[in-house]
């Protein structure tokens, strides 16, 4: 299956094959061939895929997981992903996010552990896991 963006690109390139200009037709054909090769299908199969339904776009991450959000705020949110964090990670995240006001107060080691926990929770969130708000 192709994403909506890829389907649109294949459609535009296929339309360019009817161009009056030799170079435009050649470039469109070359780009279609490259797209097909990257997906390990023939050009005809690629055109067929463009006719089918588009794949769902990956979910966009919550603004909470943005790097410009303070690490301690992201860590406090990570506590709620009890299905992916170990009990030690949950306790660490809860303790550190309560105890400190700014991430700059953390030692280098604390910062590294906090980042690892946040990344683990973010991956779970992007994979569709829901936070367990009632657990903590």
- As a whole-number percent, the residues of the chain with pLDDT over 90 amount to 35
Number of structural domains in the chain = 2
For residue 3, what pLDDT band results from cuts at 50, 70 and 90? confident
* SS3 state of residue 66: coil
Inside any domain, residue 136: no
| pLDDT for res 135 | 46
Q: Are 26 and 71 members of one domain?
A: no
Residue-level pLDDT at 54:
58
Residue span of the structural domain in which 101 resides: 63-126
pLDDT of residue 46: 86
Confidence of residue 134 (pLDDT cuts 50, 70, 90): low
Give residue 4's pLDDT band: very low, low, confident or very high (50, 70, 90): confident
* Residue 34 included in any domain: yes
Cα distance between residue 79 and residue 64, in whole Å: 13
DSSP three-state, residue 3: strand
């Amino acid at each position: 299956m192709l994403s909506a963006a890829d389907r649109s690109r294949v459609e535009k390139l296929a339309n360019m094959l009817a161009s009056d200009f030799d170079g435009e037709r050649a470039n469109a054909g070359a780009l279609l061939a490259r797209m097909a090769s990257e997906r390990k299908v023939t050009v005809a199969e690629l055109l067929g895929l463009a006719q089918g339904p588009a794949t769902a776009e990956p979910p966009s991450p919550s603004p909470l997981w943005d790097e410009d959000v303070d690490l301690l705020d992201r860590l406090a949110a990570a506590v709620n992903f009890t299905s992916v964090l170990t009990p030690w990670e949950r306790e660490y995240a809860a303790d550190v996010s309560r105890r400190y006001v700014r991430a700059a107060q953390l030692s280098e080691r604390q910062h590294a552990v906090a980042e690892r926990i946040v990344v683990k929770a973010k991956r779970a969130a992007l994979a569709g896991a829901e936070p367990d708000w009632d657990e903590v």
